[in-house]
A = this chain, B = another copy of it.
Amino acid sequence: MGALDAIDLAIMRTLQENGRISNAELAERVGLSPSACSRRLDMLEKSGTISGYHARLSNKALEYKMMVIVHISLSGQFAKTLTEFESAVRLCPNVLVCYLMSGEYDYILRVAAKDLEDYERIHRDWLSALPHVVKINSSFALREIIDRPNVGL
């Protein structure tokens, strides 16, 4: 797989910002003919450098107005404990992000809820039911300052 040159990066940057423009417009923006642009895009997709395209839905429109950051501690760091916890957390549709962390807590989660009542349900039915959990700490987001899908190139 060849290295990415400046035009490849321009294509990636453009599609990261506006993932549904036509190939013709993309070609014009990066200074290439449509045919050449189409070939490069095809290469970027097939090589996995661009792994997909996703519509960003307004959480407001979906009525997910509440974002909760959840810190979780487990009863141990054994491989089996971690695996069982991770398999369970993957099933909860409201968990947008989950990372195994260094530091005070074992996992950090980002959970979307419609309102406080909805979060109470998620906490009761999903989070409390996760295996090996010994401590759950929920912090509520008061305001969103930034929410980017990728690093600004």
Contact = CB atoms under 8 A, between A and B. Distances in A.
Contacts of A99: 67, 69, 141-145
User: What is the total number of copies of this protein in its complex?
Assistant: 2
Given A93-B151, A95-B146, A145-B107, A140 B102 contact: yes
Interface string A75-98: 000000000001001100111111
Contact of A52 (B18, B86, B139): B18
B145 A86 contact: yes
Interface of A: 4, 12, 15-20, 47-62, 64, 67, 69, 86, 89-90, 93-105, 107-108, 110, 112, 139-153
Contacts of A47: 61
Contacts of A101: 69, 139-142
Nearest to A48: B58
A150 B96 contact: yes
